Amino acid sequence: MQKQLGGFLMKRFFVALLLFAVSIQFAQGIEWIKANYTKKEYKIQMRDGVKLFTSVYTPKDTSKTYPIIMIRTPYTVAPYGEDKFPANLGPNEELARAGYIFAYQDVRGQFMSEGKYDNMRAYIPNKKSSAEFDESTDAYDTIDWLVQNAKHNNGNVGIWGISYPGFYAAMSLLNSHPALKAVSPQAPIADWFAGDDMHHNGILALSMAFNFLSNFDFPKDTLITDWVPGPQYDSPDMYNFFLNLGSVANANKKYLHGKYKFWNAVTEHGTYDEFWKVRSNLSHFNNIKPAVLIVGGWYDSEDLYGPLNIYQSIEKKNTNNNTHLVMGPWSHGGWARTDGASFGDIKYPESTSATYNKNIITPFFNYYLKGTGTINLAEAVTYRTGSYEWINYDEWPPANRENKTLFLAPNKKLSWNKPVEEKNNFEEYLSDPNKPVPYTAKFYDSQQAYLRTYMNEDQRFAYSRPDVLSFSTEALENDVVIAGPITANLFVSITGTDADWIVKVIDVYPDSTKNISRAADAAEMGGYQNLVRFEGMRGKFRNSLEKPEPFEPNKITNVKFTLNDIDHTFRKGHRIMVQIQSSFFPFFDRNPQKFLDIYNAKDEDFQKATHRVYFSEKYPTSVSFGVVK
C-alpha cells in the first residue's frame, strides 16, 4: 500500500508539473498577490447557454485602467473561492507587478465549467447557426463579456498559455475578437497524430499517452474542484513496466479497464482518419489579426511540432501578419518553470529563461496591451545550441542557408559525397521487439510521462548496442551551423512486413573535451554523444498517414521523413553522427514487425526481424539539412 501511495503521489506531482506548466520560477507569492489584487469569480455564459467558470484578479489600485491577460485551461483554475489566491499570476513576476487584470478560465466541460469536454475540440469554419460553438467562439464570448463587465479594464486583451493552454491560445486567433490585441501560444498543440504529444508519424508515444490520459481523461459527471485519482498499481521502472505490459491492447485489460474515453479513441483510430484530421488546427490560421508570439523549446518532448508548424501555417496563409517565433534551449514549459541555465549535462553561459522573460515576453505584452515601452522583436529569435548564443532572423528557416547532404558510407562513415558504387552496400541488425532499444540510459518511475532531459542525452548507451547503427563524419575542419528541418532519406529492407525507423542526429565531442565537473557522478564529456534531434516513422505510414502499406519482405524500400527544426553549431573538431534504430522504448510503443493493427496485436505477434540500411549509387541513404552560410 505504501508503494502504491508513493507512486500515486509521485504521479500526481509529475502531472501537476507537466500539465499546469506554471511559472513557479517567477512566483510572486500568495501574500503579495492577496495584498495587491482583488479576486472575483464569474460564470460567463457562452452563445449556446453553457456557463464557463472564470476567476478574475484585478489590481487594488483603481486609479487607472488595465489590460486583461487571459489563460484558458483544462487543468483547473484552482484555488477556488474568492478568498483563495494562487502563488503566481500571469507569465512572470514583472507583468504581475506592472499591473494587469488576470483572467483564468476552466474550459468547457472541465472542473467548474459546464458543458461537455472534447480533447482538441475541432474548429468549425462554417458554422450553421449562431449557437454553434468551438474553442474560438468560447474565447470570443469570454473576451466580449470581460471587456464589458470586468471593472477598470482598458479594452485590450491578451491571451497566453503553455501546452494545452497554448492550444487554446492559438485557437483564439481564429475569427478573433476585436479587443484581442496580443496572443502568445506557448508549446501549443497542432496535430496529435503527426507530431505532438500522442504520436510521431503514427508511432504511439506510449509512456506519454498512457500516463497523461490515465490522469487527465477521467470521466466527469458533475462540476468538480479536485483532480480524480488515476489508476493505482505497483510501479517499477518505466522500461520494465511497459515491457511487462506486453501489447498495447493489454493496457485496458490490466490497468485502464475501458474507463478513459480518449485512450479508447486513440486505440480505435490507428490511422490518420477523420477523428484526427478535424482536430488538427493547421489548416485554419487564416486572416490572423492580433500580434502573435509563438514560443517553443528545442528540447520539448511533447509539443515541438506544434509551435514550429503553427508558425509556418500563419506565415503561409497570411501575407501580412505580425507573428514572431521564439525557440530556446528548454524542455516543455522550461522558460517558465526553470532558470534555463542548463539542460541535462549541458550548461549555458546565462539564464536563458530570464533573458526571454525580460527581453521578449514582458515587452511584448506591455507594448501591445499597455502601449508602453518599445518592441524590437526579430521575426524569429532562437537560441543556437552548440555555440550557446541568441540569434535574430528575418525569417525562419533562415534564407542564408545552403542545402547540404550527408550520405551513409562504408566503414560506418558519413560522407559529403554521394556514393558512386553500384554494389548495394548495407549494414544490418537484428531487431527484437522483446529487447527494444531504450530511449534513455536512465531508470525511473513508470508513472512519470518521460524523462525530461533525454532530448540532449549522451547517446553512448545506444551506440554500444548491436541493434543501433552509427555513422559519423571525420572531425570537422570548421564550424557547421545547421538551421531548420532535417530530412532523413532511408533505403531499407526488412524480413518482416512492418518496422519503425528512428533517426538521430548527434554532436560528438572530441575525446579531449574537459569535464564540466569533477564530481564522481559528473558526465564524461570526452567523446560525449550529444543528441541534437531525433524523429521516428512507423514504416507502414511511409507513403501516407491515412493509408498504411505493408513492406514486401527483403525488398529495398524508400522511407523518407522530416525531423523537427534545429539551430545548432557543430564546432570545429566535433563530429556529426547519425544513428538509425527500430525502437525507442518506452517513449514509443513497440512495433510487432508485422503489418497489422498494432492496438489489437497479441503478445505472440511480436517477432524478430533483420533490418538492412543501404548505401550505394542507386540507394543513397542520407540526411539533408540547411547549413547557414
CA distance 303 to 300: 6
Give the three cell numbers for residue 285: 490560421
Give the three cell numbers for residue 47: 452563445
CA distance 57 to 37: 6
Instruction: Show contacts of 508-517: CB within 8 Å, 24+ apart.
Output: 508/472, 508/574, 508/575, 508/576, 508/577, 509/574, 510/475, 510/573, 510/574, 516/345, 516/347
pTM above 0.75? Answer: yes
CB 210 within 8 A of CB 185: no
CA distance 618 to 425: 10
For the domain made up of 2-190+281-393, the CATH class stated in words is alpha beta
Give the number of other Cβ atoms within 10 Å of residue 24's Cβ. Answer: 13
What is the CATH code for 401-628?
2.60.120.260
- State the alpha helices, DSSP H only, in 192-286: 206-216, 238-245, 250-251, 261-268, 274-277
CA distance 223 to 246: 36
CA distance 274 to 436: 32
Residues in the chain predicted with pLDDT less than 50, given as ranges, are 1-24
Give the number of other Cβ atoms within 10 Å of residue 327's Cβ. Answer: 26
CA distance 351 to 357: 10
CB 586 within 8 A of CB 238: yes
pLDDT for res 206: 97
* Domain residue spans of the chain: 2-190+281-393, 401-628
The residues pairing with 153 across neighbouring beta strands, listed in sequence order, are 66
pLDDT tens digits, 425-472? 999 999 999 999 999 999 989 888 899 999 999 999 999 999 999 999
pLDDT for res 5: 36
| Spatial CA neighbour of 587 closest among 196, 214, 242, 189 | 242
101-127 b/e (C-beta count within 10 Å ≥ 16 → b): bbbbbbbbbbbbbbbebebbbbbbeee
pLDDT for res 66: 98
Q: What is the DSSP string of 406-450?
A: EEEEGGGEEESS-----S-EEEEEEE-TTSPPBS-S---BTTSS-
Return all residues near 206 (Cβ < 8 A) that are at least 6 apart. Answer: 242, 248, 585, 586, 587, 588, 589
Q: What is the DSSP string of 573-585?
A: T-EEEEEEES--B
Give the three cell numbers for residue 173: 486567433
The residues pairing with 576 across neighbouring beta strands, listed in sequence order, are 507
CA quadruple 584, 585, 587, 590: dihedral positive or negative? positive
pLDDT for res 25: 60
CB 173 within 8 A of CB 285: yes
Q: What are phi and psi of 282, to 5 degrees?
A: -70, -25
CA distance 376 to 391: 14
pLDDT for res 28: 84
| Spatial CA neighbour of 279 closest among 170, 185, 182, 175 | 170
CA distance 256 to 239: 19
